[in-house]
Amino acid sequence: MIRLAVRAPADEAEAVLAELLELAPSGVEQVDGDGFVEYALYGAPGELPSLPEGEAQIAGHRVVVRGEPVPDDWS
């Protein structure tokens, strides 16, 4: 399983979330930080949207994308 994290500036987070929900209609995990919101999608390789690692554009807003494996014992 992979955790695909998309971090957006807090003031642009709603627009980014709307676009992510088009890509992942089952929903995302939200983590609020100081000045940013991070949305995480979970899935097997090939099930997640294809987004480039690092800086990217979603809904016309600059975001940072990071993918990482989830440990087998995660629940």
Q: What pTM value is reported for the model?
A: 0.89
pLDDT > 70? residue 5: yes
Per the structure block, which two tokens stand in for 74? Answer: 């995660």
Which pLDDT value is given to residue 25? 80
Query: Which residues face 75 on adjacent strands?
Result: none
* Span 12-67, pLDDT tens digits: 999 999 999 998 888 899 999 999 999 999 988 888 888 889 999 998 999 999 99
Domain-by-domain residue ranges, the chain?
A: 2-69
Which pLDDT value is given to residue 19? 93
Per the structure block, which two tokens stand in for 50? Answer: 């294809």
